[in-house]
Structure 1
Amino acid sequence: MTSSSTVSRWTRSANPAHREHGTDRQAWRAYWEATALLRDRLEKQLKDEANLSLTDYNLLLLLKEAGGSMRMGELANRMVFAPSRITYRIKHLVERGYVTREVEGADRRGAVATITDAGRDCFRDAAQLHSAQVEELFLNRLQPGDAEVLLRVFEDVGCHLDTDS
């Protein structure tokens, strides 16, 4: 069998002759490039068919999973967003009627986002589309054992980064 440095592998490098050296660095580059393509494809199809961005889909998902409401700070934390960015995205969803935003507490510094019935309906339709996309574009590409490896790797990376921040 040939070494990994001589095996022809997929890359989007501007010059494949100058590709990363070593399987670990090639794996990182393939992950980085493939996930960019995957997110782009998921985003385009969600926008075209459900009129939702991937970010807005994820916000609605988190609100639904939280039982319908979540404090804005917690929402920003889970999305790994700055508070100003979450405020902007929630404002957009409020304008579309998918979310309400209400000030909370005596000091009125906190706010809670709540998914509306229209938001639930939009999310339900988008979730069906998104699930089919994930199946077609990602899950159908996995070989036996791949899912377990990916789960182990990204749970480990996620746990490390989540506790490191």
Structure 2
Amino acid sequence: MSRQEPGDALLAWLYVQQGVDAVRVAVERRIEAVAGCSLLEHEALYRIHMNDRLLMSELSDLLAVSPSGVTRLVERLVRRGWVAREQPPDNRRVVHAVLTDAGRQVLAATSAPAYRESVAEEFAAALSDRDLADLKRVGRKLLEAHGKWDAKRFATD
């Protein structure tokens, strides 16, 4: 593997970071307008849905949010009736976040379609098929390099 100049790596990092931030802002606006929830709340609902249930620590890791931040996030979702906390009777220290019927309805009726459409319009529309394939490959490579790749967690429908 050839090594580029340090400035090349820094520029690539800055472009990707700023590009993702710009797309995130546009997608967030759309999700808030359509679903009445933040992008982070939608991402939490989606991740819980994709995994059936998640430990709070797993959700924290998937969302790159501190454990206390995930606790506050899940509390907001519980108050809205979209998520429930479940504890196995044999281990009260373990807490799972699980979607409620209302949470599934939010995802199915509003958030998921708006999320998919906004990602298509705000992210994918600016890229070729080759660009998307390259980004998937590079994203996975970065996740693997940092011990964050888990195929079941990154599954799509």
1:128 aligns with 2:110: no
Alignment match, 1:50: 35
Pairs aligned (count)? 143
Q: Is 1:39 aligned to 2:20, yes or no?
A: no
Deviations 1:88-117 (A, max 9, x none): 100000000001113334352111111011
Moved more, 84-93 or 105-114: 105-114
Distance in 1, matches of 2:96 and 2:68, equals: 14
More relative contact order, 1 or 2 (CA 8 Å, 6+ apart) = 2
Q: Give the letter aligned to residue 12 of structure 2.
A: A
RMSD of aligned Cα (Å)? 2.0
Is 1:153 aligned to 2:151, yes or no?
A: no
Deviation track 1:70-105 (CA, whole Å, cap 9, x = no partner) reads 222222222222221111100000000001113334
Question: Corresponding residue for 1:7?
Answer: none
Q: Distance in 2 between matches of 1:147 and 1:135?
A: 11
Shift in Å, 1:51: 0.6
TM-score, structure 2 length as denominator?
A: 0.82
- Measure, in 2, the Cα distance between the counterparts of 1:101 and 1:157: 32
State the AA in 2 paired with 1:25: L
Residue identity over aligned pairs, in percent, reads 27
Hey, what's the Cα distance between the residues in 2 that align with 1:73 and 1:57?
A: 18
1:64 counterpart letter in structure 2 = H
Q: How far does residue 22 in structure 1 lie from its aligned partner after superposition?
A: 4.6
Q: Runs of 5+ in structure 2 lacking a partner?
A: 1-5, 149-157
In the superposition, relative to structure 1, how do residues 98 and 132 fare at CA in structure 2: closer, same or farther (>3 Å)? same
Match of 2:153 in 1: none
Work out the CA distance in 1 between the residues paired with 2:86 and 2:10: 46
- Secondary structure at the aligned position of 2:46 is classed as helix
| 1:95 and 2:79 aligned | yes
Q: Which runs of 5+ in 1 are unaligned?
A: 1-20
Match of 1:86 in 2: 70
* 1:119 equivalent in alignment to 2:103: yes
- Kindly provide the amino acid, as one letter, of the partner of residue 34 in structure 1: G
- Secondary structure (helix, strand or coil) at the match of 2:37 reads coil
TM-score (norm 1): 0.78
